[in-house]
Amino acid sequence: MMGTIVYGFSDSPFGEIIVAATAKGICDLQFLEHSRMQAIHELGSRWGVYTSTTIDNEMAETVAGVIFEGLDKPLTIDLRGTEFQIGVWNQLREIPFGQTASYQDMADRLGSPGAVRAVASAIARNPVAMLIPCHRVIHSDGSVGEYHWGRELKKRLLEWEAQVAEEAAAGSALSKGPLRLTVNSSTVPLAEELSNDIFKGELDGLF
């Protein structure tokens, strides 16, 4: 498959992010761990089927505005994964802003209560951070668990969302409802899934 990836960078309250999109929608969103050049290299390693890239920081800034500043603008996501992964990622979108769910909760909601490890593995391969809110999944004992960008960032994200939700409930801030997202999904065999183990630390200490 040939195509073009558009990518851009934006600041956020939690550090710089890189956002990438295909013609079908946003396909990748990560917090930067190292340099921009390293982030671009990692993007290419995940989406090597695309032959060219163009930069569009305005696109990335718009996405950041929707996520972190309450900008009311519809977004489209381009998800590519196995049928099970896409099912898990769509279920993650059902966790309300300011709330959390456990890995077991997620397995139960998917009708597969014995598939906690498989669910955690799918969460670990979520390619679109924040828009697919995998950070809202925690351990059954209430501990936040691992996160690719560190437990501290995961904790800060959850605390920020809880505070915004509390202020909205008290009437001191605008309510942040569900994001207006359209999802385009493409199912691929397991052997062809993206090499995108960005949340590999999620499984550490889960069992």
Residues taking part in catalysis = 134
Neighbouring CB atoms inside 10 A of 196's CB total 21
Distance CA 62, CA 65 (A): 5
End-to-end CA distance of the chain: 38
Q: Where are the alpha helices (DSSP H) in the chain?
A: 36-46, 57-69, 83-92, 103-109, 116-124, 151-169
- Number of H helices and E strands in the chain, helices first, is 6, 8
- Report the SS3 class of residue 161: helix
